[in-house]
Amino acid sequence: MGELLEANMDVGQMRRAADGACKLMKVLSNPDRLLLLCQLSQGEKRVGELEELVGVVQPTLSQQLGVLREEGLVTTRREGKHIYYQIDSPATLAVMGVLFKHFCETKECN
């Protein structure tokens, strides 16, 4: 099953780490947000691109992108009238990589 991870943390540190992990997993537990992060893990995208790629329409798209911004998982930049999003959380990018490997890197997804 794999190696057990060694944790040289006291219980307080473990609690804070668990709280942070649970907060991230709660954000990822929404299918629309997870799909948005899947697309953003491939690189920066415009709002219009995300709408087309994920199939989530306004206002749901704006609401879910707002949650990702509020939680500090993504940042934005404006270029003219376009807003671009990108992942701004190394932990989120790492988790997305693990999820991709275990759920999308199979023959069923190709």
Q: Which residue has the tokens 């749901």?
A: 60
Kindly tell me if the per-residue pLDDT of 103 is higher than 70. Answer: yes
* Percentage of the chain modeled with pLDDT above 70: 89
Domain with 71, as residue range(s), is: 31-103
- Residue pair 58/64 in contact (Cβ under 8 Å)? The answer is no
Look at residue 82 and tell me if it is in a domain.
yes
Task: Tell me the CB-side half-sphere exposure of residue 8, using CA atoms within 13 A.
Answer: 0
Q: What is the pLDDT of residues 73-88, one digit of tens each?
A: 999 999 999 999 999 9
Look at residue 24 and tell me if it is in a domain.
no
pLDDT of residue 9: 74
What CATH number is given to the structural domain containing 82?
Answer: 1.10.10.10
DSSP 86-109: EE--HHHHHHHHHHHHHHTSSTTT
Structural domain total, the chain? 1
Kindly tell me if the per-residue pLDDT of 59 is higher than 60. Answer: yes
Q: What is the pLDDT of residues 2-34, one digit of tens each?
A: 555 666 778 888 899 999 999 999 999 999 999
